[in-house]
Structure 1
Amino acid sequence: MRKFEISNRTVTDDSEAYLIAEIGHNHEGSLEKAEELFRRAAAAGASAVKLQKRDNKTLFTREMYEKPYTGRNSFGPTYGAHREFLEFGKHEYQRLAQLATELGVDFFSTAFDIPSVDFLVDVGIPAIKIASADVTNTPLLTYAAKTAKSLVVSTGGATMDEVRRAVDTILPLNERLALLQCTAVYPAAPSDLNLSVIETYRREFPDVVIGFSGHDLGNEASCLAYTLGARVIEKHFTLDQSSPGSDHHFSLDPALLEDLAVSLQRVRQSLGSPEKACSEREAPAVRKMAKKLVAARDLPAGHTLTADDIACKSPGDGMKPYRLEELLGRKLREPLSTDGAFALDLLVGAATDSGSQNAR
């Protein structure tokens, strides 16, 4: 059975969705705003909140780090300065970890490089996210897997061979893996999502919990993903979709996140059991609207029944119409008036009383 353990939660095919509110850097470098995002995500019904961690000078080439970066989304004159402004350190992470515990949600982060893995392990978070950009980064995958932390891996932009390589890299070292279908388009249109890949992953990796990381607008795709078997759902989260920054415009605000949490619960309830049966809640309607076999007219004792003697009428509290053949050619043991319900114990040569009761 596929199973993903994170913190004190276990995610399986039978469980509700594990909903991750991906804050990323939508806190805009403000601990106060990050704390508010945590509170609002927890209140909306998220299972976890997530940030992103980068060791920027390790991660970027000098040219990219020092490249001028100006405009509406910039928090610094160069790309490196912009990234450093948004980066939280140990103090902020420890405060947010304490807050997450108080709120009853899990807190973890994406590690974009090996020093960031070390940082997150030192802070003591329960899981590490691997971004789509690093699904081919086997050195990082190996290093993160060896921490024994739960791993959530997105697969945007990857080929199936690259996904297999990533899974084959991780599983021998760490079985605590959730694999997420993702599309590296921001925002992603419905035609970009390829949700059917979820079914492909479920067939290819029968012991791995599968999920969906959505950069789409709205909540419909996440609910569809759950019906296809995704049990980890990740959506970007913001307090204001109009804020400056590359993620805010396709992130869910608190109202949309709450709607998603409620919708996912309803989807799970709607999927219900795979066994087809008449439920207790259906029974009254079925009795009222279904049909039973009754006498089409007054019939005397000893009468041999034909199709003209039998009608199908509601309510459906007697012999079902598919049992018509059991009556044809049989003789009545006693008279039966119009609309009287047929039963095997009314017929000559019928089964024993106990057997006939079971046959009704």
Structure 2
Amino acid sequence: MTTSPALPGSALFAAPTRRLGDREVGPGHPVYVTGEIGINHNGDLACAFALIDQAAAAGCDAVKFQKRTPEICTPRDQWDIERDTPWGRMTYIDYRHRVEFGEDDYRQIDAHAHARGIAWFASPWDVEAVDFLEQFDVPAHKVASASLTDDELLRRLRATGRTIILSTGMSTPKQIRHAVEVLGSDNIVLLHATSTYPAKPTELNLRMIHTLQSEFPNVPIGYSGHETGLQTTLAAVALGAVFVERHITLDRAMWGSDQAASVEPPGLQRLVRDIRTISESLGDGVKKVYDGELAAMKKLRRVQGAPEAQLVGSSS
């Protein structure tokens, strides 16, 4: 992959948009913010509803779940391994079923999200999960980083005709290019990601956002963060990410492997607020003299330069 950065006002702002429900995603549009619920609900529908409520209250555009067919996604040699869980000691395959929502659960999730005015979609981890999610009018499907090399899954996802959001953690440049070839570049959003939970700042490599922008100039580029804290996610937006995904939780002390790298409700409120401010402040990279500067220019500038017509608010 090339490493030359995409500059504001050039290729970055020329990239096409993608449609996610009633929203356009891409340069020139507000950053699309997704609260990744994943399996942080621990199989509890009431917890899932509470997470949807928190995401909606914070101003997120969507929440995202994960959908697996346990017998397909769990290696056979791990099925009978016992582990301690909040629900007692059980085999790993029983645990996978315990935290998986079924059709009736998702119909309730669909209704609840609709009532709260927030979109939802999911990461299907197998072809059967894609077929399951196709029962619902989801705005997109997500490819988890772990699934980037699953060509069968990618081909099934492409066949849905929906926007596909592809995370690129734990992947080489060659693997990313191959996945884009399988999916086709016309209907995807690429997300830079580092697949450690939580990810260290030294491993985030946020300049990969510019690398992906240069390598795939016709694809919107976003960021899926697994770090602790908010600063680096905000930096991703400043670097040009047009889609942001962060894991969310009601309490980082809850049971589950993703909780520690998740954002609690107060942090989510701040994150979305600051993303909106940064998004508005980036502008188009074209230098202007704003109306608010005119009084200061008249008062403070001793030598006026040559007059120019390009003043914000001027009629000519």
Deviations 1:310-355 (A, max 9, x none): xxxxxxxxxx2x68xxxxxxxxxxxxxxxxxxxxxxxxxxxxxxxx
Structure 1, unpaired ranges of 5+: 293-319, 324-360
- 1:211 is matched with which residue: 207, 212, 222? 222
Larger radius of gyration: 1
- 2:302 is matched with which residue: 279, 291, 295? 291
Deviations 1:13-50 (A, max 9, x none): 00111001000111111111111111111001110001
- 1:4 is matched with which residue: 18, 24, 29? 18
Aligned pairs for 1:244-259 (under 5 A) are 244-259=255-270
Does the CA-based 8 Å contact 2:197-2:260 persist in structure 1? no
Deviations 1:262-310 (A, max 9, x none): 1011111221231112211111122221103xxxxxxxxxxxxxxxxxx
Aligned pairs for 1:297-308 (under 5 A) are none
Q: In structure 2, what is the Cα distance between the partners aligned to 1:11 and 1:269? A: 15
Q: Secondary structure at the match of 1:51?
A: strand
Q: Secondary structure at the match of 1:262?
A: helix
Q: In structure 2, what is the Cα distance between the partners aligned to 1:231 and 1:221? A: 15
Aligned pairs for 1:1-360 (under 5 A) are 1-70=15-84, 76-171=89-184, 175-292=186-303, 320=304
Among the aligned pairs, what percent are the same residue? 35
Q: Secondary structure at the match of 2:35?
A: strand
Q: In structure 2, what is the Cα distance between the partners aligned to 1:75 and 1:58? A: 24
Q: Secondary structure at the match of 1:281?
A: helix
Q: In structure 2, what is the Cα distance between the partners aligned to 1:135 and 1:48? A: 22
TM-score computed with the length of structure 2 as normaliser: 0.89
**Relative to structure 2, which stretch is displaced further, 84-93 or 222-231?**
222-231
Does the CA-based 8 Å contact 2:164-2:189 persist in structure 1? yes
Point out 4+ residue stretches in structure 1 off by more than 6 angstroms: none
Q: In structure 1, what is the Cα distance between the partners aligned to 2:280 and 2:237? A: 11
Q: In structure 2, what is the Cα distance between the partners aligned to 1:123 and 1:273? A: 37
Q: CA deviation at 1:76?
A: 5.0
Q: In structure 1, what is the Cα distance between the partners aligned to 2:165 and 2:232? A: 19
Deviations 1:164-223 (A, max 9, x none): 000011117xx3211100001110111111111111111111111111000011111121
TM-score computed with the length of structure 1 as normaliser: 0.78
Structure 2, unpaired ranges of 5+: 1-14, 307-316
Q: Secondary structure at the match of 1:49?
A: strand
Q: Secondary structure at the match of 1:5?
A: strand
Deviations 1:215-274 (A, max 9, x none): 011111121111222111000000111111111111001111111111011111221231
Q: In structure 2, what is the Cα distance between the partners aligned to 1:117 and 1:259? A: 33
Q: Secondary structure at the match of 1:153?
A: strand
Q: Could you say what the CA RMSD is over the residues aligned between the two structures, in angstroms?
A: 1.5
Does the CA-based 8 Å contact 1:75-1:85 persist in structure 2? no
